[in-house]
């Protein structure tokens, strides 16, 4: 199988190592120092147990030079996806699987799913349908990443904890291509779970990220300090209850209360969210995929979201004043 990773960051590298170690030909689209590092030394990863993996990859700055792939892994930040989707065209053939490994609500979330909301295009994550036009829905396989990785250096991933990936077809089917992909990644060393409703897994992960990410970006606080403040914790719970009500309308019930999720988050300790790390690094923030899409889904399902609206407004304003949105 020919597999291309578009997004040579920490998660893209984690998946690239797995695909290479499963015996597949891996290429990566990269630029600058990352491109040079991949060409010189291949893709490297320090696992959570301290072991080092180093695998050969073909790295190029031009996707057209790599040709049509059997699998394209999209592991970029949401703000960059419209441009990436257009650039990916030379990699995608009629039977290419596009594995979306990203945070938040994806552009295909309501394709063939969502009850009365089914088929609605989400302007907050795909304005004008640019992504949907560039990446046909029939090619997409969804995923939820449960690992913490960072870049130690260009082309060098450090895995901190977690090694789990959930994959699923947007229509919930157990297709042969889905099972083959899961088996491949499992052979490469990732703990893979096949989902009958990947939207439910996406929504459940978002239920925590929806609040912790933007509030940490606004305040500079780690998650433990956010939960230690009873007023902020109460606001977090109010936003989560709004998202829970939206999920009920979409057929995505959550059988927990916010306090149950808070207990899980506390186990992470003084955790610095990805959005806070983006702010500190001066990178664009994933506001729309994590918060804006939830507000839009509230509007589609006629679910009031006053607390989510406030969180979106404050985070968006902060990002705009810093040139990050």
Instruction: Select which of 2, 200, 205, 267 is catalytic.
Output: 205
Distance CA 275, CA 205 (A): 15
Task: Judge contact between 198 and 206, C-beta under 8 A.
Answer: no
Strands 71-74, 140-153: parallel, antiparallel or unpaired by DSSP? unpaired
Residue listed under structure tokens 């938040």: 104
Helix, strand, coil percentages, rounded to 5, for the chain: 50, 20, 30
Nearest to 16 by CA among 155, 135, 177: 155
Task: Judge contact between 6 and 75, C-beta under 8 A.
Answer: yes
- Residue burial 296-316, b: 16+ Cβ < 10 Å; e: rest: bbbebbebebebbbebbeebb
3-state secondary structure (DSSP) of residue 56: coil
Let me know if 205 is a catalytic residue: yes
Structure tokens at 124: 């907050």
Rg of the chain in Å (alpha carbons): 19
Show Cβ contacts of residue 217 under 8 Å, excluding neighbours closer than 6 positions. Answer: 273, 275, 276, 278, 279, 285, 315, 318, 319
Task: Judge contact between 17 and 86, C-beta under 8 A.
Answer: no
From the CB of residue 246, how many other CB atoms can be counted at a distance below 10 Å?
A: 25
Task: Judge contact between 2 and 27, C-beta under 8 A.
Answer: yes
Distance CA 237, CA 259 (A): 8
Distance CA 273, CA 296 (A): 23
Residue listed under structure tokens 């995608």: 92
* Active-site residue list: 205
């Amino acid at each position: 199988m020919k597999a291309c990773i578009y997004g040579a960051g920490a998660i893209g590298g984690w998946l690239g190592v797995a695909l290479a170690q499963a015996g597949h030909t891996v290429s990566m689209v990269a630029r600058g120092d990352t491109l040079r590092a991949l060409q010189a030394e291949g893709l490297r990863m320090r696992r959570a147990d301290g072991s080092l993996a180093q695998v050969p990859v073909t790295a190029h700055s031009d996707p057209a030079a790599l040709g049509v792939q059997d699998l394209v892994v999209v592991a970029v930040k949401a703000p960059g996806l419209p441009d990436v989707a257009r650039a990916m065209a030379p990699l995608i053939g009629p039977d290419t699987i596009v594995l979306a490994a990203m945070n938040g609500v994806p552009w295909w979330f309501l394709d063939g799913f969502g009850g009365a909301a089914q088929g609605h295009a989400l302007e907050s994550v795909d304005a004008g349908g640019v992504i949907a036009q560039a990446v046909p829905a029939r090619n997409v396989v969804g995923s939820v990443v449960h690992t913490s990785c960072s870049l130690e250096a260009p082309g060098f991933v450090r895995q901190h904890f977690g090694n789990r990936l959930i994959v699923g077809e947007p229509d919930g089917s157990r297709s042969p291509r889905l099972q083959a992909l899961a088996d491949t990644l499992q052979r490469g060393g990732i703990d893979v779970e096949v989902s009958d409703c990947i939207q439910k897994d996406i929504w459940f992960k978002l239920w925590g990220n929806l609040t912790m990410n933007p509030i940490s970006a606004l305040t500079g606080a780690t998650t433990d300090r956010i939960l230690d403040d009873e007023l902020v914790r109460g606001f977090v719970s109010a936003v989560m209850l709004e998202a829970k009500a939206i999920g009920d309308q979409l057929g995505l019930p959550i059988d927990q209360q916010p306090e149950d999720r808070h207990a899980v988050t506390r186990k992470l300790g003084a955790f610095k969210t990805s959005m806070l790390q983006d702010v500190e690094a001066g990178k664009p923030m994933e506001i729309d995929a994590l918060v804006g899409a939830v507000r839009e889904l509230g509007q589609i399902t006629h679910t009031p979201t006053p607390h989510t609206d406030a969180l979106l407004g404050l985070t968006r304003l902060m990002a705009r004043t810093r040139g990050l949105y």
